[in-house]
Amino acid sequence: MVWVRNNKANDYDIRSTTFALTGAVVHNGAALSHWLNFDQSLALVPDGTGMRIVFTGGQDANNSNKFSLGALYTATSANGSSWALVHGSLSSHTVFNQSIAATTRLDGTPVAAEGLNGTSYFHVGVDAAIPAATADQTFTHGSAFSIGNESVARDKNGTVYAAWYEGSNTAQGYWVRSILPSLGAASLAPHSKDVGLADNEPRGAVALAARTGGGVYLAYCVASKTAPCTHIDLWKVGASTVKVVPGSAGSHDVRHVTIAAGAKGRIVVGWYDQTKGVVKVVRTNTHATAWGVVRRSSHPSL
């Protein structure tokens, strides 16, 4: 797990914690220390048998410092205990206003994405130049200032998908498209369009995950005229039907919907139920065709 910590004014760390399979903390420390600023969104992806952080920020106020230009940077670690800042970047663009997303290709090459207003910028591989000498690839959709809360994931066959919340007036809702090896058509997730309905924007990264064994899955709130989240749907991208996530109905204040690829082909969905003040988590079976028991944990208000 990685996150940004504010030490004091103009002094930030990226902290990291590694866990055992039992949930016990193995190591707690700093991946990067005493930068001038970091974007609060970070992406953590595999790097061989180790791991990689993708982030943006500024090391100091020196404009001649390559690590203060606001590009997408990266640091790697073999075990989560010690980290090395990589001299390179994952973007030719240096101005962003959306959250960072990242995944890897089948050969382990990182893919990083971030948005600016109505455009998504994505880059394959770490370029030795800062900013990257190779241009970012891009896509747009809908009207300006529309693409937000983007996530990316790679399917078993190597196809990389991007999912986002569309904020334009005529196409509000959750969308997904393949971006690698080629750009595919954008598809609207079933029942996610909220034109004329309550705003179901996730206000965080869209919940997208690639299932072990194949398939990419998206979890999202379904709105009504009066409620931004009548329940959560789980959609296998490309399927004609969805699965309603058990335990997600009955609250009109669901927040922080998240998803993960579980062991042996399971899909895990979690969310915070603001009305009842509990975190809920439920997973599918190994074929992602049926649900298990909904687990609940009391948590302070977020």
DSSP calls for 252-281: S-EEEEEEEE-GGG-EEEEEEETTTTEEEE
Across the range 13-25, mean pLDDT stands at 94
pLDDT at 194 over 90: no
Average pLDDT over residues 244-249: 94
| Domain around 54 | 1-140
* pLDDT computed for residue 275 by the predictor: 80
Asked if the structure places residue 158 within a domain, the reply is no
The total number of structural domains in the chain stands at 1
Task: Examine residue 208 and state whether it is found in any structural domain, yes or no.
Answer: no
Amino acid at 116: L
pLDDT the model gives residue 92: 96
pLDDT in tens, 32-41: 999 999 998 9
- Reference 3, options 37, 40, 28, 56; nearest CA is 40
Nearest to 284 by CA among 215, 230, 238: 215
In the block, tokens 């990316």 appear at 152
Q: Which residues of 63-78 are buried (b: 16+ CB within 10 A; e: fewer)?
A: eeeebbbbbbbbbbbe
Residue 283 domain-assigned?
no
Residue 227 predicted with pLDDT over 90: no
With contact defined as beta carbons under 8 Å apart, do 249 and 263 qualify? no
59 in a structural domain: yes
The predicted structure's pLDDT at residue 96 = 79
Give me the torsion for CA of 120, 52, 265, 243, rounded to 10°: -30
Residues 126-148: pLDDT tens digits? 999 999 999 999 998 876 557 77
Q: Is the pLDDT of residue 302 over 50?
A: no
On whether residue 23 sits in a domain, the answer given is yes
Q: What average pLDDT does range 151-170 have in this prediction?
A: 91
271 in any annotated domain: no
Averaged confidence pLDDT in the chain: 92
Residues contacting 222, CB < 8 A, separation 6+: 191, 192, 200, 229, 230, 231, 232, 233
* For range 177-192, the mean pLDDT: 95
pLDDT at 51 over 80: yes
Rounded to an integer, the average pLDDT of 96-108 is: 91
Instruction: Give pLDDT, residue 157.
Output: 96
79: left (phi over 0), alpha (psi -120 to 50) or beta: alpha
pLDDT classification of 252: cutoffs 50, 70, 90: low
Does the pLDDT value for residue 20 go beyond 50? yes
Domain membership flag for residue 281 = no
Give domain status of residue 134, yes or no: yes
pTM for this predicted structure:
0.93
Per-residue pLDDT band at 193 (split at 50, 70, 90): confident
